[in-house]
């Protein structure tokens, strides 16, 4: 009801997809919203592909299942980090150990939150750099060894080896989460590549000689298959987003699906995806062809009216012009659709070192594929993760705290936008510098708001 109300208030009636997390209540909400949007008469294929699941939430569930049985080595490292971080004196002594071991690192020990796997990864990734410093610290602080022996004991060389393997294990998912959670230039064409790479990685870990790694891979694969194991349960737009990438098209889809799901099942699925692509394109053609033709006629009439007098006197057409006119009149010139022309072209070869901008490519080629480019615009803009939007709400909560509840909506919006602009323009700055810049900006906005309130009070009194 709330989403429906917002859409109506904002005048949004054309909704392509809605990205939500995997909560069961969202399934009911999407079903309700689908009926409403279809009733408005502006749906694409009756909202057949409306429901899109957040990839970040599913990745989080996959990793959490893999880490349910916490490794003993992780517990030992966690206790060692907790002991050293308990007082400034211990931290100073540990720093001296680092200097004696010749360890030069700007990273500092951080303690994880057990329920957040990404914080566990960050803790282990930093701690494994100071392995020798931990060993030296145990020789100069007898209480360190005594306290840890009462729990799980000191981390030894085998523990550190296990930690390094686990860091490599979790690093893939940590980097993946960062890639899919960005708020700038995260287009949906990367979705399937990320999913298939995770599947291949889990299959590799399942066959590992390391028993613990194989068990973790097995648990994670079960959770992975629950959401992405059956391709028929996935939103087909995930596959179409790859087809509209000029580097891949249908050839890559056939290869990738055959690799992930087997040749027979993969080729069958590829045929279904091809039919879905044409079904979606026909829907867009039916919706936007008339608008495109009207635009072409207006442009044609305008150029015709602006012809020079000399061009008007030219009545005779050469043979080439007569042939083109004949093809247009018979309809043969337009026998191939935008989609046919696009798929028949060869794939775009891009150097591995070159950063390919798919949005720019479609902007430059929209003239050649007028209807298809409209469809691609909607597909590539489809959010694959809800992290960015959730972060915006979290930012709003920090800006509008109980001590600043008098801020107007306009000022709150300005603060949130300013924070985003600061991050973009000062991406090379550290987090502390960015926070300082934001605080100065917030103070300036607050001062403006106070001055505005005072001015209004004075005006009322006068």
Give 189's DSSP letter: G
Give 41's DSSP letter: T
DSSP code string of 257-324 = HHHHH-HHHHHHHHHHHHHHHHHHHHHHHHHHHHHHHHHHHHHHHHHHHT--HHHHT-----HHHHHH
CA atoms within 13 A of residue 108's CA, in its CB half-sphere: 6
Tell me the average pLDDT across 94-110.
86
Longest CA–CA separation in the chain, Å: 103
**Poorest-pLDDT segment among 258-272, 343-357, 392-406:** 392-406
Dist CA 382 CA 15 (whole Å):
10
Tell me the average pLDDT across 359-387.
88
- pTM of the predicted model as reported, rounded to 2 decimal places: 0.68
Segment 40-93, tens digit of pLDDT:
877 788 888 888 888 888 888 888 888 877 678 888 999 999 999 988 899 999
Helices (H), 101-236: 117-127, 131-140, 142-149, 157-180, 191-206, 211-224
Give 71's DSSP letter: -
Domain spans, the chain: 1-53, 72-175, 230-295+334-383, 400-456
The pair of three-digit structure tokens given for residue 262, joined into one six-digit string: 């087997």
Q: Give the per-residue pLDDT at 314.
A: 42
Tell me the average pLDDT across 144-160.
84
CB 382 within 8 Å of CB 237: yes
Segment 294-333, tens digit of pLDDT:
555 544 554 445 444 444 444 444 665 565 555 555 545 4
**Poorest-pLDDT segment among 75-84, 89-98, 140-149:** 140-149
Is residue 159 predicted with pLDDT exceeding 60? yes
CA angle 192, 193, 198 (to 5 degrees): 95
Res. 373 pLDDT band, cuts 50 70 90: very high
Tell me the average pLDDT across 440-451.
54
Cβ partners under 8 Å of residue 26, min gap 6 = 20
DSSP code string of 205-255 = HHT-S-HHHHHHHHHHHHHHIIIIISGGGS-THHHHHHHTSTTTHHHHHHH
Q: Give the per-residue pLDDT at 376.
A: 92
Dist CA 259 CA 253 (whole Å):
10
Long-range CB contacts for residues 95-103, cutoff 8 Å, separation at least 24 = 97/133, 97/134, 97/136, 97/137, 97/140, 98/130, 98/133, 100/136, 101/132, 101/133, 101/136, 103/129, 103/130, 103/132, 103/133
Dist CA 89 CA 148 (whole Å):
18
19 phi and psi, to 5 degrees? Answer: -95, 125
The b/e string for 237-261 (b: 16+ C-beta within 10 A; e otherwise) is bbbbbbbbbbebbbebbbebbbebb
The b/e string for 157-181 (b: 16+ C-beta within 10 A; e otherwise) is eebbebbebbbebbeebbebbeebb
Q: Give the per-residue pLDDT at 460.
A: 46
The pair of three-digit structure tokens given for residue 331, joined into one six-digit string: 């309809």
Q: Give the per-residue pLDDT at 313.
A: 40
Nearest one of 179, 152, 131, 182 to 71, comparing CA atoms? 152
Q: Give the per-residue pLDDT at 372.
A: 92
The pair of three-digit structure tokens given for residue 221, joined into one six-digit string: 């694969």
Burial of 99 by CB count in 10 Å (0-12 exposed, 13-18 middle, 19+ buried)?
exposed
Q: Give the per-residue pLDDT at 400.
A: 54
Dist CA 274 CA 57 (whole Å):
29
Give 128's DSSP letter: G
The radius of gyration computed from the CA coordinates of the chain, to the nearest angstrom, equals 29
């Amino acid at each position: 009801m709330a989403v429906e109300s917002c859409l109506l208030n904002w005048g949004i009636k054309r909704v392509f997809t809605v990205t939500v997390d995997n909560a069961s209540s969202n399934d009911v909400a999407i079903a309700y919203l689908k009926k409403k949007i279809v009733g408005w008469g502006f749906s694409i294929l009756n909202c057949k592909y409306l429901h899109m699941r957040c990839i970040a939430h599913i990745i989080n569930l996959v990793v959490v299942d893999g880490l349910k049985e916490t490794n003993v080595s992780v517990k030992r490292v966690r206790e060692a980090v907790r002991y050293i971080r308990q007082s400034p004196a211990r931290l100073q002594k540990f720093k001296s150990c680092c200097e004696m071991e010749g360890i030069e690192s700007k990273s500092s020990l951080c303690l994880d939150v057990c329920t957040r796997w990404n914080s566990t990864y960050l803790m282990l990734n930093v701690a494994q750099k100071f392995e020798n410093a931990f060993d030296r610290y145990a020789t100069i602080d007898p209480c360190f060894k005594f306290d840890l022996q009462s729990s799980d004991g000191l981390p030894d060389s085998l523990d550190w080896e296990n930690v390094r393997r686990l860091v490599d294990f979790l690093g893939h998912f940590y980097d993946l989460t960062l890639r899919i959670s960005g708020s700038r230039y995260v287009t949906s064409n990367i979705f399937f590549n990320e999913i298939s790479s995770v599947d291949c990685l889990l299959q590799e870990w399942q066959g590992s000689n390391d028993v613990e790694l194989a068990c973790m891979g097995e648990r994670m694969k079960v959770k992975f298959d629950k959401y992405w194991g059956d391709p028929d349960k996935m939103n087909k737009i995930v596959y179409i987003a790859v087809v509209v990438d000029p580097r891949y098209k249908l050839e890559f889809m056939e290869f990738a699906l055959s690799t992930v799901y087997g040749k027979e099942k993969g080729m069958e699925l590829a045929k279904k995806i091809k039919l879905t692509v044409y079904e979606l394109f026909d829907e867009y053609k039916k919706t936007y062809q008339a608008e495109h033709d009207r635009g072409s006629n207006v442009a044609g009439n305008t150029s015709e009216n602006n012809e020079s007098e000399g061009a008007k006197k030219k009545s005779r057409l050469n043979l080439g012009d007569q042939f083109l006119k004949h093809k247009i009149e018979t309809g043969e010139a337009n026998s191939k659709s935008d989609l046919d022309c696009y798929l028949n072209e060869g794939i775009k070869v891009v150097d591995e070192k070159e950063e390919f901008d798919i949005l720019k490519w479609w902007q430059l080629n929209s003239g050649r594929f007028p209807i298809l480019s409209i469809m691609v615009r909607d597909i590539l803009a489809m959010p694959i993760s809800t992290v960015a939007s959730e972060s915006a709400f979290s930012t709003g909560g920090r800006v509008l705290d109980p001590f600043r509840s008098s801020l107007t909506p306009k000022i709150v919006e300005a603060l949130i936008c300013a924070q985003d602009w600061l991050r973009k323009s000062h991406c090379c700055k550290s987090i502390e510098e960015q926070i300082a810049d934001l605080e100065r900006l917030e103070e300036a906005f607050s001062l403006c708001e106070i001055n505005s309130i005072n001015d209004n009070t004075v005006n009322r009194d006068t």
